[in-house]
Amino acid sequence: MSTTTRILLCFLLLITCAFYFLLDKLTDRVERQYLEAAEEPMVDIARILAAWLEQSSSEAGLDCRSLEDALRAVHERPFEAQIYNLLKTQVDMHAYVTDADGIVLFDSNGGAAEGADYRHFNDVSRTLDGRYGARSTRTDEEDSLSSIMFVGAPIVVDDRILGMVSISKPQASMFTFIEETQQRIRFYGWSILLVTMFAAVLVSHLFSSPIRKLTAYARAVRRGDRVKLPRLASTDVRTLGHALDEMRDALEDRKYVETYVQTLTHEMKSPVSAILGAAELLQDPAMPVSTRERFLGNIQGETQRLLRIIDQLLALSAVETQKALANPTTIALPELVDRVCSAHREACAPQRLQLETGLTASIPPIQGDAFLLEIAVGNLLQNAIDFSPPAGRIRVCLDHRPEQDSIELRIEDEGPGIPHYAAERVFERFYSLAHPKTGRKSTGLGLCFVREAAELHAGKVTLATRADGKGAVATLTLPLHPTGQRPPRVL
């Protein structure tokens, strides 16, 4: 189990305990709050009844007949009151009246307590003493729902307390509301807890996401996958990511040299073998002159191929080691592309190729390395020439893309296009397709150089079959305002 998971579990456990304690206290408080809320109107009712009795009483004694008649009529009158989830059909509030000594003179609950001495009850004794009197008494000590609340009020005539009236209400009628409120509190409380837990997991996921990204990045590097350093928001994690990336560069440099040597050896083995074989055959003095000239031509051709490999390798290694452009200058791309096209028109003549250009002078200048871009454009154009059929047409277009803040160079030919199996590999080092005219492959370094030069200028290059299927189209996109460094080299 990871450290993050352990911390999250501990946090969730603590918050669950805190919520349980809070909900327990809240549900206990609900019962008391309802009883307090019910007691307040009972005080008003007791005071009203006391004032009523004061109007019909005198120093000679208390007159409870009008109260008795009114309460009897109230209890006998049928009604229905739908109070939310509670259907109320009878009045459950009662009252009793005592004299100044606490002897019950009237009891609306069937007269059961009449004549009894209630002086020992708080609602009676405190009220007769001129204080606020109230009590809660259970009819069954084992049943909390059997509690009855009593609230008293003094009956005062000529500034003398002649007695008191106490109203009572069973608390069971309120427990419907109490239980419903407690259930709602538990429901909302646990719902909030679940939402909080989900939010905690989400926040933990967001905070641990950079670590997981770095872990996946490190594993991908170990597998040799083509990956870039992920975008990291946290400053500390970003610093760690850059340190890993630098370590990766240092390790890849060693692997890079090894791969270069292996691939170069493989590519140079074929022309060297051809030269060696031709040289051995030339030692035969009886060889016809025509055959001898053909072998000498092979030696010369393979030697030129070796020179091209060496020259392109030197140029490619120079551009691959750069992280960013050292001294970018202002470049007018129409002029640069025009120079490249002019230099390659001679190569188009033997095959009667038509080289058409669509260059606009209003193309804004860019910042970059003119030497690298000239070689890159030349490689793309030479690739189109090599794969074009005789008398074919090559079109070079340069467009400004304001919405993308970039310049787009397109070179279209009428060759065989790009096979689907080679679409993802044409920019790999030493990868090449056989030329349709000669059947031979090139060094496979030209397009790789174009990709490296494009990345140095924060741009990109693509090579695909045209939409109409009649040839290939190479697209070099260069931003007007390149920023940052090139992505890391991937082996």
Tens of pLDDT, residue by residue over 124-147, are 999 999 999 999 998 888 887 788
Select the more confidently predicted residue: 446 or 250: 446
Poorest-confidence range of 379-383, 389-393, 467-471, 486-490?
Answer: 486-490
Residues in contact with 361: Cβ distance below 8 Å, sequence separation at least 6, in sequence order? 334
Residue 488's pLDDT is what?
Answer: 45
d(CA 302, CA 300) in angstroms, rounded, equals: 6
Residue 281's pLDDT is what?
Answer: 78
Domain with CATH 1.10.287.130 in the chain: 228-321
Confidence of residue 491 (pLDDT cuts 50, 70, 90): very low
Confidence of residue 444 (pLDDT cuts 50, 70, 90): low
Tokens of 314: 């030197």
Percent of the chain with pLDDT over 90: 20
User: How far from the centroid of its chain's Cα atoms is residue 81's Cα?
Assistant: 53
Residue 125's pLDDT is what?
Answer: 96
- The CATH number of 3-180, from 1.10.357.10, 3.30.530.20, 1.10.3720.10, 3.30.450.20, is 3.30.450.20
Residue 166's pLDDT is what?
Answer: 96
CATH number of 324-491: 3.30.565.10
Residue 113's pLDDT is what?
Answer: 92
- The CATH number of 228-321, from 1.10.287.130, 3.30.1330.180, 1.10.10.10, 2.70.98.60, is 1.10.287.130
How many CB atoms lie under 10 A from the CB of residue 341? Answer: 20
Percent of the chain with pLDDT over 70: 79
Domain with CATH 3.30.565.10 in the chain: 324-491
Position 198 pLDDT exceeds 80: yes
Q: Tell me the average pLDDT across 233-245.
A: 68
Q: Tell me the average pLDDT across 276-295.
A: 79
Domain with CATH 3.30.450.20 in the chain: 3-180
d(CA 258, CA 254) in angstroms, rounded, equals: 6
Nearest to 453, CA basis, from 330, 318, 342, 339 = 318
Nearest to 348, CA basis, from 302, 411, 407 = 411
Q: Tell me the average pLDDT across 229-258.
A: 62
pLDDT (tens digit per residue) in 25-61: 888 778 778 888 888 999 999 999 999 999 988 878 8
Residue 256's pLDDT is what?
Answer: 47
Q: Are the CB atoms for 427 and 450 separated by under 8 Å?
A: yes
Mean pLDDT for the chain?
80
Position 313 pLDDT exceeds 60: no
Residue 223's pLDDT is what?
Answer: 65
Residue 151's pLDDT is what?
Answer: 96
pLDDT (tens digit per residue) in 98-125: 999 999 999 998 898 999 999 999 999 9
480 to each of 324, 358, 365, how far by Cα in Å? 16, 19, 7
pLDDT (tens digit per residue) in 398-437: 999 888 889 999 999 998 888 887 777 787 766 777 666 6
Position 192 pLDDT exceeds 80: yes
